[in-house]
Structure 1
Amino acid sequence: MVEELDRRRKQLCKRFLKKGDITEFNILYRRALDRYLVESIRRYQRKISPLSSTPFALVALGGYGRSELCAYSDIDLLVLFERDIPDEVLDFIKWVIFPLWNIGLDVAHSVRTIQDCLILSKKDFWEFTSLLDSSFIYGDVSLYLQLRERFFSEVVFKERDRFRRWVGNIYEDRIRSYGDSTYLLEPDIKNGIGGLRDCHNIRWLFKVFEDYLPLNMPISSKDYMEFNKRLRFIQTVRNYLHLVSKRKNERLSFEYQIEIARYMGFKDEDNRQGVEQFLENLHKSITFFRDLLREILFNLCRSPIGALGEEKEIGEFVIKRGEIDFKDPAQIIEKPSLMIRIFQLSSRLHIPVSHDAKRIIKDIAPMFRGKIEDDRDSMEAFLDIIVSKDGIEILNEIYDTPLLDILIPEFGHIRYLIQFDSYHIYPVGRHLLMTYSSLKKPKNTEDILISTILSEIEDPLVLYLSALFHDLGKRRGNHTFWGVKIAENILNRFKLDESRIEEILFLIENHLLLIETATRRDIGDEKVIIQCAKKIRSIERLKTLYLLTWADSVSTGPRAWNPWVEALVKELFIKILHILERGELVSEKVERRLRLVRKRVEERLSDIVDKDHISGYFDIMSRRYLLNTPPSMISHHILAAKRLIHKLATDPDSFLLEPQFSEYERCWIVHFLAKDRPGLFSDIAGALALNNINILSAHIYTWYNGIAVDIFYVSNPLDTIHPERIWEKVQEDIRSILKGEISLRALLDKKRRPFGVGIRLTKRRHPEVYVDNESSDFFTLLEIHADDRIGLLYNITRKIYELGLDIRVAKIATKVDQVVDVFYIRDRIGQKLEPSRVNEIKDALINELLK
C-alpha cells in the first residue's frame, strides 16, 4: 500500500509541474494520504488487533490538517485516546506510520489522551496552533469532536490574550531570525515576515477571536478574495521550490528563481526578465500579508476609547489616546491634502498617526489617483516631512500606505521593481528609502569624512530628493537618462526654484560618476581628475555627489560598497577636491611632487643603499610610475629589484612575488617583479584565477632596464586562516607557467565556477567592447563588459597580447553579474591605437568572449 502512495505522490508532483494547480495538488495529496492511512489501519485491525476495546481517532495536524501540504512538507499525526493508552499502540504505530518513512516522507506523530492535549496546548502555543489546524482522518469521530469542544471551551477562550501576546513576540523573533521578506530578494517564504507563517497567524487569530475581529476589523469580500489569491500564489511558489530543490526548502535562493518563474508562466518581455516580474508579484503578496497581520495585531492590542487622557483638537485633526487622528474623515473628500498633512503634523509634534487614520488613508487614497499630484498643499507638506527630524520614520509610515504612490505616481512604478542580479539586494522602492535613510541617519558614524561633509551641506533638501528620485528611471534602459526626465516632471510639480532643480537633476544624471570613474579609470592619470573636476565644477556639488554615491552604494548591497571601493572613491574625491580648491594641476606642481618623492625614497633607503645607486634606479623609472606609486612602495621595489637582479644572473626565469595585506584597502597588494616578456600580465592573471583570487586593479610598469614591476590589488584568498598556503601555491603555479611546464589554458578550461547559494543564474548577455582614444593623452582605453566566469581575465589579456597590444593599467570592476574590465593599452612601439585598427580589435575580443 505504501508503494501505491509513493507512486501516487510522484504522479501528483509531475502533474503539478505541468499544470501548477496548487489547490488540486493539496486536495489530491491529502486524499492519497488519507486513503493510505485508512486502509492501513483497517488491515491492521483485520490482521493484528482490532483495537475495538479502546476507541481512538487518527487526527491530522498542521499543514496536513489544513490540507495545505507541499511536496516535502512534514506530515504531523496525532493518535488520540480518551483516557488510557493501550499497550499495543506501539505495534499500531509500526504497522501504520513507520512505512511512510521508508518512502522518504518526514512524519512526526504523537500518542495522547484528550487531557494530555489540553495540558500541552496550555503550556506550548505551537501545540495550541496544531490543534487549531487539526482535522479528522479515521476512527471514533465523537472522540475528535470531544477534543475540539473541550479545547475551545477550556483552552482557546481562556488563553487567547496570552496567545495574542505570543503571536506578537514570535513575530518580533522572526524579524530577527529571518528578516522582513518584503525587503529581501532571497526570502524565506514560510517563516519570513510576510510569508506563509503570517497567513497562518492571521487565520489562527480569526479563529481564536472569532467573536471580536469580524466586528472590529471587518474584512470585505474583495479583501477575502485577495487573501486567497495571494495565499495560493505563495503556496504555489513553495511547492515549486520543494520540487525544484528536491527537498524541504523554504529559502527562495537565487539559483531556483529563474526556473520557478518559468514554471509559473512569467516570460521575458521588453526590458524585463520573467524572473523579475515573478519576484515583483511575490513581494506584493508578501507585503499584503505583512500589513494585514500588523493591522490585526494592532486591533487586538488597542486600548478602549477614552482610556488615555483627554482629546485635543488641532485644526482638522484631534489628538486622542496619545495619537493623531482625523477630526472628521469626511473632510478628506474636499481636502485630500489632509492625508499627507496628518503625517506632517506627526513629524512636527513627534506624536504618531493613529492606526485608524492610516486605515482610512489606505482605503480612501486610491480614490484620488491622478488628482492630487499637483496639489500645492500636499507637495509642501511632503517636502516639510523630508527635511524633518523624524523624516525616516514618517516616510516609512507613508510608504506602507498607497499615499506615496498617489502623491508621486512615478514612485509607484518602481516600488516593487526587482533587478535580478547579485549586486542589488532590495526592490528599487525600498532601495530609494534606504538611500534617503542612510543620509538622514548614517549607520557608520565612525566615517569622519561622511559625518563632516554631512554637517557642511548647505541645502539638505537637494540631497534628500536626489536620494529618493535617483533610480526612478530603472524600468527603462538608460536609467540615468530617463531618471532625469521623470524627476524633472516631479520637481516642476513641486514648484522648486530653478537652481534647486538644476542641482538635483545633475546629481541624478551623475550619481554613478564617482564610483564608475574610481573603479574603471586610472585615477593616477591627471587628465581623468581634471575631466571630473570640470564636470562637477563646485565644491558643494562634489560633496553632495560624494554623499549620494556613498548612500546609494551602501543601500545597494555589500558588492557595491566594500573597503576597496570606498578607498578608491575617497581618493578620487580628495583629488578632485584639491583641484577645485587650488586650480588645475600644472607641470610645475608635478615637478615639485617628483622631487618630493625622490627625497622621501632617499630618506628611507639612506642606511641601506648609497645615494648613487638610488639615483641610478630613478633614472630607469618612468614618470608615470613615480607619480602613481607611494615612496614607501618605490623603496620596497628598489630593494626587491636588487635581489631579483642577483637571481636573474643564474636563472633567467626568476621572479619575486610578495603579497601584503592592506588594512586600509582591506585587500591584498601583490608586488610582482620579473624580467619583462610578452604576455606576462596574462600569465599572472591566469595563475591567480587558478587559485580563486580575483584581481581588483593592476598597474603594470616596465623599468628601462627591462624589469617588470607590476602591482596587483586582489581579493582575499579563500583560506583566510592560512593564506600563506595559497600564496605558496600561486608562486609554484607561476614558476611552472614561466618554465612552460603546464598549459594554463587547459587548466582553466577544466575549472568550473562553483554552483551554490548566492550565485544568480541570469541569462547570458552579449559582450560589449568600447574603444576610447580621447580620455587619456597617452593610452587607448579598452572597456569590456562580459558575463563573469573563471579565467575570463586571462582570456581577455591573452587575446590583447596576441593582437600586439601592451597593457599598462588594468581596472577590474563588477557591474551587476557582468565584469567591467578597463585596460589602458598601447601598441608595441608605445603609441595609442590607430583608428584603422579599432574594428579589428573589437571584433577579435568579442569573438574571444563568445567562445
Structure 2
Amino acid sequence: MKGKEINNLSSLKRILSPRFLTQISGRKFAHLFSFATDCYFKDKYNDLNLNTKGISLVALGGYGRAELCVHSDIDILLLIHDNNLLELEKIAHNLFVPLWDMGFEVGHSVWTISNCLALAKENFEVLASLLDARFIVGDKNLFKDFQLSLAKVLNPELKKRFIHWLQENRIKRGDRFGSASSQIEPHLKESLGGLRDYHYLKWVAKVWFSLSQIEDLVREGLISHPEYEELQESVDFIFLVRNQLHFLSKRRNDILHFEIQPTIAQQIGFEDKNGKFAVENFLSILHKKMSVLEVLCNLFYKTHFTEINNFNYLLQEEEIDVSLGICLRNGTLDFEDTKYILSNNLILLEIFKYSAMYNIPISWESRRIINELVSLLRDSLYKNEESSKIWEDILVSDNVYFALKQMLDTEFLAKFFPDFGVVSDFVQFDAYHIYPTGAHSVKTVDFIVKVKEDNLWSELIGEYSNDISLRWAALFHDIGKIGPNHSLIGAQLAKKILTKLNLENNIIDIVCFLIENHLLLVKTATRQDLEDESVIVNLASKIESSKKLGLLTLLSYADAKATGPKAWNPWVESLLREVFFKVKKVLEQGVLAEPHLVHRLASTRDKLRELGKKRFSLDFLESTLDSLPARYLLHHLPQEIYKHIELIFEKKDKQKRIVFQAKPDKKTNLWEIIIVGDDFRGVFMKIVGVLTMSGLNIFSADLNSLKNGLFIDIFRVSNPPDPLFVDEFWEKVESRLDFVFSNKLDVDKEMSSMHEFFTKNDIEIKVSVDNNKSDFYTVIEVIADDKPGFLYKIAKTLLNLDLDVLFARVATYKDKVVDVFYVLDKEKEKIVDPLKIEEIEFCLKSSF
C-alpha cells in the first residue's frame, strides 16, 4: 500500500509538464524534487519506529547536492555504526521497494565509516560522491563523526592526488564527449562545459580551499562576483534544459539529440526572432552558457593549480621581450598596472600578440581587465595607426589560433567588432555546422595555418597561407551570417571595419572579394557539372587571377574543414580539387587551351580504336563508337570509356538484361556503380529506387543514352552498410535491379511500403529552374529537408513531366538535401517556355 509520502512524490511526477518546468528555475525544480524525496525518506523511516542510534540515511551524488532532475538516479547511503544491525534488510525493503515500484531508479549502499574512508582513499569516484554527502534522517551524531573522519583523511598528499585525478578525468571527458561548444549534440552533463564542470568547481572548493559552499569562492577572492553570477545563470539554464530533456525522453538522458532540439526550444519558450529560428536562438544561448562554464573551469584550474601540475614554462621573465606594461607572472602574461592601460591602450592588443608569439596564456585577472576595458577603449584603438600593424602581427602568426581563442573567450572579438559580436554565438540548426559562428570563424583561421600540415593541399595552395587578406577574410567570412545574402552583407561589413582600421584599399578589396565569394567554389563543385566548359569559363572570368583562385580555394578548404566532417569529406575534397585544377588551367592557358571539340572527339575515338582492335571485332567497335553521344565522349577518359565498352560487349555476348559493376573509389571514399542495359523511359527513377531500398546515399549520377538503344549510367554512392559482406551486398543490389528491369519487382510499390511518404506540409522545398548555368541544359535545383525516398520522389516527378535527366549532383546531409539535375525536354531541348518552367516548379513542390 502506498503511503502519503509516495503520493507526494507521485503527485510531483504527475504535475510535471514542460509548462511547469519553465515556471520555475532549473535548479529550483531540482531542489524541490530533492526536498520531496527527503520528505519521503523521513516519513517512511519514522514510520518504522526504529531506534535511530547507529544508522543514518545519507544522500549522495546528485541527490546529495540537491540536484535531482526528472529522471535522475536517487543515490542513498545507509551509514551504519557496525555490520550487525538486524534491521538493515527490513529498512532497505521498506525504503526502496515502493520507490522501485513507482519507477524511480534507486542506487543504495550500506557502509560503515571505516568502509567509506577505505573506499575514498582507493577510489576517487567514491570520494567525490562522499564529498556531496547530505544528512537526511537518523543518527545525526554518526553523520557528524563521518564528516570529521573524512576531513581528517584529506591530508595534503591525498588532496593533491585528488586534484590530479579531477583534471585527468576532465581530460578524458573531453576526449570522449568533446567540448559543448563544438558539439551538434552536446552531453549536458559530461561534455566540457556541462554540469560535471560545475561539480568539479564545487569539489575543488571543498577539498583544496576547505570551503563548504561554492559561493565562498567569491568571498575568498578566487572568482569575481560577476563571474559567480554568470556561473549561476549558466548552471540554472543547463538544469532547465536537462529537466525538459528528461521529461520529453521519458527516461534519464543527457545527450541533447538533434531531433529533439526544436521541441525543447519551443517548450522553454523560444520563438523565431531576428531572422533566426526558435531552435537557433535556443542553441545560441545554450552554447554560450556551456562555454561560460567551460572557460571558467579552464581558467580556474590554470590559475590556481599550475604548481600542482608542474607546468613547465620554458621561458623566464628576462627571456621574453614584451611591451612596457606587460610582464610574465606565474607562467602567464599579466598587466603590470591597470592605470597604465588607460594612457597606453595599445597594450590591450599587444598582450594578445605576445601571447601568440611566446605561446603563453593571458592571466585570469588580465582577461577580466580586457573584458571590462575593451568597449571603453575600442574607438581610441581604431584611431591609433599602430593598431592595424598589431592586428597583422597577430593574424599572420603561426600561433594565431591561441590568441584568437583567448580573444573569443574574453569577448574581445565581440566587443572590438560589434558586428562580429552579433553573430558570434549564432548556432545554425543543421547537422553539419558543429560550432557557433564565432568559434567557427576562429577555427577557419586555424585551418588556414594548418594547411601546411596537409601535404596535398600544401603543395597546391600552401603558398597563400600567410596572406594577410586571407587571414582577415577567414575571420570575417561569416560576419553577415544572420539573414539572407550573408556573403554579400559580410563583405560590406568587413569593408566598413577594415576601412575604419585604416587598412590599404587593395587589401580591403581582396578581403571583400573572398568573403563575397567564399561559397562559390564548393557550391559550384557540388551542384554543377564540372565537365561543362561554360561552368569553368564563367568561374575563371569571375576569379580573374591564379592568386585569387589560390586564396579562394584555401578559404573554401578551411571553411569546410571548420564546419565539420559532414561538410568536408573525401567526396567534397575531390570535387574542390577538380574545380581548382580546371579553373587554374583556363586562367593560365586561356579558354582555347583545349583542342577544338571536333578534334577532341576524333582523338578519343582513335584512342579507343587502338585500345579495342585486338579485343573486339571491327564491326562491333565501330558501331559502338558511333552510338556514343558526344557529351559522354568529351566527359570521360578513353581508358574509362574502354572499360564501359567491355561491359557493353559482355551484355551482348552473354545476352544479359543488365551488366552491373561496383568498385571502390579510394580518392572519394565512395563507390562507383556502372550499369549498362536496354534504355527505356524511367530508367533513372527505377535505379534510384533500388539504390534507396538498399540503404545507399547517392552523390552523383551521370546518365548516358546511346544511339543503339542502350544506356550507360554511372553513380557514385555511399559505402555498403557492412564492410564484412561487401560482395554479398552488391550481388543483392544487382539482383534487385534485374528484378526491377524484368518487371518482377514493382519499385514504386516497394518504395511506398518501405517509407510512409510525407505530405507537402511535412517538408519545405525550394525549387529553381535556371537556363544560364549551362549552355546546353536546363538546371533544376531542389533544396529541402531530407526525408526517406526524397530523391526517388523527385526522379518520379521529373519522369512524369517528360524531362530527360542527363546528369545529377546530389548532396545529402543528415537533415538537408541539395539535388541538382541537368535536364532536357522530350525533344532534347532546353526548357525555355515560362509556362513549362512554372509547371516544373509547381509539380516538384506539390509532389510532397
2:806 counterpart SS class: strand
- Indicate yes or no: 2:615 matched with 1:616: no
Among 544, 549, 553, the residue aligned to 2:556? 549
Distance 1:373 1:257, change over 3 A: farther
The match for 1:466 is 473
The amino acid across from 2:277 in the alignment is Q
Moved more, 739-748 or 416-425: 739-748
Q: Which ranges of structure 2 fall in alignment gaps of 5 or more residues?
A: none
The match for 1:247 is 251
* Residue pair 2:325, 2:341 contacting (<8 A) in 1 also: no
Moved more, 249-258 or 6-15: 6-15
CA positional deviation for 1:530: 0.9
Q: Per-residue displacement from partner, 1:689-744 (whole Å, max 9, x unpaired)?
A: 11121221111112211111111112222233213333333333333333334432
In 1: Cα distance, 2:552 partner to 2:756 partner: 37
Among 830, 833, 836, the residue aligned to 1:832? 830
2:514 counterpart SS class: helix
1:388 counterpart SS class: coil
The match for 2:141 is 142
In 1: Cα distance, 2:465 partner to 2:722 partner: 47
Identical columns (%): 34
How do 1:9-20 residues align onto structure 2 when only pairs under 5 Å count? 9-13=9-13, 14-20=15-21
Q: Per-residue displacement from partner, 1:250-295 (whole Å, max 9, x unpaired)?
A: 1111122111111111112242111111111111111111122223
CA positional deviation for 1:622: 1.6
Distance 1:228 1:393, change over 3 A: closer
- Indicate yes or no: 2:802 matched with 1:799: no
Q: Per-residue displacement from partner, 1:278-328 (whole Å, max 9, x unpaired)?
A: 111111111111122223223322559xx9966688422233445432222
Moved more, 55-64 or 722-731: 722-731
* Residue pair 1:424, 1:816 contacting (<8 A) in 2 also: no
Distance 1:5 1:479, change over 3 A: farther
Distance 1:332 1:16, change over 3 A: farther
* Residue pair 2:685, 2:795 contacting (<8 A) in 1 also: yes
Q: Per-residue displacement from partner, 1:14-67 (whole Å, max 9, x unpaired)?
A: 43422222344323322332233233333434xxxx456x52111111111121
CA positional deviation for 1:234: 0.8
In 1: Cα distance, 2:317 partner to 2:630 partner: 78
The match for 1:89 is 88
The amino acid across from 2:487 in the alignment is T
CA positional deviation for 1:401: 1.0
The match for 2:692 is 689
CA positional deviation for 1:97: 2.3
In 1: Cα distance, 2:31 partner to 2:465 partner: 64
CA positional deviation for 1:587: 7.2
* Residue pair 1:366, 1:406 contacting (<8 A) in 2 also: yes
In 2: Cα distance, 1:695 partner to 1:462 partner: 38
Q: Which ranges of structure 1 fall in alignment gaps of 5 or more residues?
A: 756-761
In 2: Cα distance, 1:10 partner to 1:379 partner: 64
In 2: Cα distance, 1:429 partner to 1:238 partner: 25
- Indicate yes or no: 2:65 matched with 1:66: yes
How do 1:428-507 residues align onto structure 2 when only pairs under 5 Å count? 428-442=437-451, 445-446=454-455, 448=456, 450-457=457-464, 460-507=467-514
- Indicate yes or no: 2:15 matched with 1:26: no
In 2: Cα distance, 1:360 partner to 1:781 partner: 56
The match for 2:632 is 625
The amino acid across from 1:358 in the alignment is R
Moved more, 115-124 or 782-791: 115-124
- Indicate yes or no: 2:667 matched with 1:664: yes
Moved more, 505-514 or 94-103: 94-103
* Residue pair 1:164, 1:300 contacting (<8 A) in 2 also: no
The amino acid across from 1:200 in the alignment is H
The match for 1:508 is 515
CA positional deviation for 1:453: 3.1
* Residue pair 1:414, 1:475 contacting (<8 A) in 2 also: yes
* Residue pair 2:769, 2:841 contacting (<8 A) in 1 also: no
How many pairs were matched up?
831
The match for 2:844 is 846
CA positional deviation for 1:422: 0.8
- Indicate yes or no: 2:269 matched with 1:269: no
* Residue pair 1:62, 1:134 contacting (<8 A) in 2 also: yes
1:511 counterpart SS class: coil
The match for 1:702 is 705
The match for 1:818 is 816
In 1: Cα distance, 2:130 partner to 2:496 partner: 56
The match for 2:658 is 655
In 1: Cα distance, 2:544 partner to 2:390 partner: 32
Q: Per-residue displacement from partner, 1:372-424 (whole Å, max 9, x unpaired)?
A: 44544333312211101322222222222122222222221122110111121
Among 403, 406, 414, the residue aligned to 1:405? 414
How do 1:287-436 residues align onto structure 2 when only pairs under 5 Å count? 287-302=291-306, 314-368=323-377, 372-436=381-445
* Residue pair 1:181, 1:193 contacting (<8 A) in 2 also: yes
Distance 1:274 1:586, change over 3 A: same
Distance 1:547 1:587, change over 3 A: closer
* Residue pair 2:426, 2:437 contacting (<8 A) in 1 also: yes
Distance 1:351 1:781, change over 3 A: closer
In 1: Cα distance, 2:807 partner to 2:269 partner: 46
CA positional deviation for 1:505: 1.1
The match for 2:192 is 193
In 1: Cα distance, 2:6 partner to 2:602 partner: 82
1:137 counterpart SS class: strand
1:442 counterpart SS class: helix
In 1: Cα distance, 2:581 partner to 2:105 partner: 60
The match for 1:746 is 749
The amino acid across from 2:126 in the alignment is E
* TM-score scaled by length of structure 1: 0.92
In 2: Cα distance, 1:355 partner to 1:619 partner: 76
In 1: Cα distance, 2:756 partner to 2:166 partner: 43
* TM-score scaled by length of structure 2: 0.92
- Indicate yes or no: 2:647 matched with 1:640: yes
The match for 1:759 is none
In 2: Cα distance, 1:69 partner to 1:428 partner: 33
The amino acid across from 1:580 in the alignment is L
Distance 1:672 1:551, change over 3 A: same
The match for 2:614 is 607
Distance 1:540 1:520, change over 3 A: same
* Residue pair 1:696, 1:714 contacting (<8 A) in 2 also: yes
In 2: Cα distance, 1:428 partner to 1:85 partner: 62
The match for 1:758 is none
* Residue pair 1:380, 1:494 contacting (<8 A) in 2 also: no
Distance 1:223 1:354, change over 3 A: closer
Once superposed, what is the RMSD of the aligned Cα atoms? Answer: 2.8
CA positional deviation for 1:658: 1.8
CA positional deviation for 1:237: 1.0
The match for 1:107 is 106
The amino acid across from 2:649 in the alignment is K
Distance 1:734 1:612, change over 3 A: closer
The amino acid across from 2:203 in the alignment is W
Moved more, 599-608 or 481-490: 599-608
* Residue pair 1:62, 1:133 contacting (<8 A) in 2 also: yes
How do 1:172-187 residues align onto structure 2 when only pairs under 5 Å count? 172-187=171-186
